[in-house]
Structure 1
Amino acid sequence: MSTILKIFAFPAAIFIMCLGILTVLGGHITPGGGFQGGAMVAAGFIFCAVVYGIEKSPFQFSHEFMSAMESIGALGYVALGLCGLLFSGFFLYNLGVDLYGISQSVSGFFNYPDPTHAGIIPYLNIVVGLKVLVGLSAIVITFMEFRGEEVTE
């Protein structure tokens, strides 16, 4: 890779990742959300991985880190869904908004001071963003580490 590309890649990746985090955190009031923001953060990581290579990339995702992040994303999604099921009878019920008055006891926990009262939607965006980030990054890492060895029986 050229020197200009190596100088440009890291700041551009940081900028792309910041935009992705902004998309995840503002996804309940703007277009976008967990999937789009997670894909943007993964794009910043992938950009550095392609330019610098997996071994020399400024962002090193170990297998244990990626496994932990994917587990946190999956368990967080299920936990938020079960909170809705437990307190209202509906899986992924938006407890913070509570339009039907089903779960008055828990709605205060998810009701943060936001003018749009998004409830659990921002939390769902965060855990979905983690899942998408790890999933897309794992695909690219797997393809980049594949050397083309022939499988013999």
Structure 2
Amino acid sequence: MGPILKIFAFPAAIILICLGILTILGGHITPGGGFQGGAMIASAAILCIIVYGIEKSPIQLSHNFISIIESLGALGYVLIGIAGLFFAGFFLYNTGADFYNLLPQVIVNIFHYPDVTNAGIVPYLNIFVGLKVFVGLSAVVIAFSQFKSKEME
């Protein structure tokens, strides 16, 4: 890759990461959410891998990091779903908004924050989905970048 791409890629990746985080955190009130934000953050890692190569990329994602973040995303999503099942009888019941008045106020206050754009558990779900999508898409590209066919040897 040329020097212009190497100068441009890392600052562009930082901007993509910031936009991805903004999309995840604002996904309950704007278009976007966990999947779109996670894909934006993964595109930053993918850009660095393509431009710098897997060994010299400024964004290094180890196997342990990927497995921990993906497990954290899945576990958080399931735990929030089970909390709704436990407290209201429905998996992923929005305990913070409590549309059907099924929960005691003590439980509702855990996920409820005093804002007109209150979405209950949706922002938390966006965070966990964003983590899963980020490491999932990044892991695919990392695996493909390390693959060498017999024709190339």
Q: Find the residue that maps to 1:127 and give its secondary structure.
A: helix
Q: Find the residue that maps to 2:8 and give its secondary structure.
A: helix
Q: Find the residue that maps to 2:116 and give its secondary structure.
A: coil
What is the rounded CA distance, in whole Å, between the counterparts of 1:70 and 1:131 in structure 2?
5
Q: Which residue of 1 is the match for residue 149 of structure 2?
A: 148
TM-score, normalised by the number of residues in structure 2: 0.96
Amino acid at match of 1:41: I
Structure 1: 5+ residue stretches without partners: none
TM superposition shift of 1:113? 2.8
Q: Which residue of 1 is the match for residue 125 of structure 2?
A: 124
Count residues with an aligned counterpart: 150
Residues 81-100 of structure 1 aligned to structure 2 (within 5 Å) = 81-100=81-100
Runs of 4 or more, structure 1, over 4 Å off, are none
What is the rounded CA distance, in whole Å, between the counterparts of 1:67 and 1:114 in structure 2?
35
Q: Find the residue that maps to 1:108 and give its secondary structure.
A: helix
Aligned-residue Cα RMSD (Å) equals 1.0
What is the rounded CA distance, in whole Å, between the counterparts of 2:123 and 2:32 in structure 1?
11
What is the rounded CA distance, in whole Å, between the counterparts of 2:131 and 2:145 in structure 1?
21
**Percent identical:** 66
What is the rounded CA distance, in whole Å, between the counterparts of 1:16 and 1:77 in structure 2?
24
Amino acid at match of 1:139: V
TM superposition shift of 1:115? 1.8
Amino acid at match of 2:64: E
Amino acid at match of 2:88: S
Q: Which residue of 1 is the match for residue 80 of structure 2?
A: 80
TM-score, normalised by the number of residues in structure 1: 0.96
Structure 2: 5+ residue stretches without partners: none
